[in-house]
Structure 1
Amino acid sequence: MGRSLNEIIAELPLDEQQAIEARYQELKQEVEGLHELRQITGKAQADIASALNIKQPSVSKIEKQTDMYLSTLRSYVEAVGGKLELTVQLPKRPALRIRHLGEVAPAVEKRIPARRGSGARSPRRRPG
C-alpha cells in the first residue's frame, strides 16, 4: 500500500516541511473565482442577486465573466460581505494600494453659463 502525502512530508527535513506549510497557507488564502468566494461566505446566488437588486441568472453570468468593470466586482464583493482592495506590485517597490479606483463617484452637474447677446451661436470647430 502507498504512503499518504502527510507521511511523505513528515519524512522531509524540517525547513522543507515549514516551506510546504507556508505555501499551503498562502494557497488557502487564494480563490479561483467569484463562485468560490461566494461559497466560502456561505451565500447563495439568490442572496447576491437580492443584495445587488438583480436576478439570479445575472449573478451566474457575473461569476462566469473573465473581464468586468471594477464597479461590478466591488459591488459583488460587498454583496458577499467583503471589501475590495486593489494592490499594484511594481518591481523593486513595496506594494501600492489604489484607494479610489472603481468606486462610484457622485455625479457632478456642470452648469454652463448662458451667453449674452443674440441667441445665435457660432459653429464649433472640431479638432483635426
Structure 2
Amino acid sequence: MAISADDVFAETMSPELIEASDRRTRELLEEFETLQQLRKARSLTQEHVGKKLGKKQVSVAQLEKRSDFLLSTLRGYVRALGGELDLVVRFKDHAPVVLAGVGEESLAEVPHAPNRAESAKKRLARRPRRLRTHSTA
C-alpha cells in the first residue's frame, strides 16, 4: 500500500511545519525548478533515467512534468540520477531530524532496521503511522 507525502505530513507535522517545508521546497525549486533541469544538470537523458527506472522514455517525460507524486517515485528518480533523497525536518530549537524510511519501496532497505524488516512491516501496518527518526546533529 502506497502512502502519499500529504498523508505522512498530515499525520506527523503541524500546519506551521508543513508551511515551512513548502517554503523550503520553493527555495530549492528556485535552484532547479524542475526534475528535468536537475536531470540535465547531471548530463543525463530521459532514456538513461528510464533504463535505470525500468520505464520508457515517455514515462520519464511525464514524470518530469508532474508536480505531485509519491516519495518512493521521487526517491527512485533521484537514485536513477545517481543521488540519494533525504527528508530532513528542521526546528528552531532542535537539531535537524532525518525521516528514515519515508517513501521507501522496500522496508528491508530502511537503514536503521536491516534485520527487522518483518517487525517494521507489522509496525507500519498499524494506524496511526509513526515515523522513525534520528538526529543528524
Alignment TM-score, normalising by the size of structure 2: 0.54
Q: Which amino acid aligns with 2:96?
A: A
Q: Which amino acid aligns with 1:33?
A: T
CA drift at 1:100: 1.1
- Between the two structures, name the one with larger relative contact order (CA 8 Å, sep ≥ 6): 2
The aligned counterpart of 1:77 is: 78
Partner SS state of residue 91, structure 2: coil
Aligned length: 83
Map 1:33-44 → 2, pairs under 5 A: 33-44=34-45
CA distance in 1 between partners of 2:52 and 2:40 (Å): 16
Q: Which amino acid aligns with 1:95?
A: P
Map 1:4-83 → 2, pairs under 5 A: 30-83=31-84
CA distance in 2 between partners of 1:70 and 1:54 (Å): 17
CA RMSD of superposed structures (Å): 2.5
What stretches of structure 2 of length at least 5 have no aligned partner? 1-26, 109-116, 119-137
CA distance in 1 between partners of 2:55 and 2:45 (Å): 13
Query: Runs of at least 4 residues of structure 1 off by over 3 A?
Result: none
Higher helix proportion, which one?
Answer: 2
Greater Cα radius of gyration, structure 1 or 2: 1
CA drift at 1:89: 2.1
Partner SS state of residue 85, structure 2: coil
Higher strand proportion, which one?
Answer: 2
Alignment TM-score, normalising by the size of structure 1: 0.57
CA distance in 2 between partners of 1:78 and 1:52 (Å): 9
What stretches of structure 1 of length at least 5 have no aligned partner? 1-25, 109-128
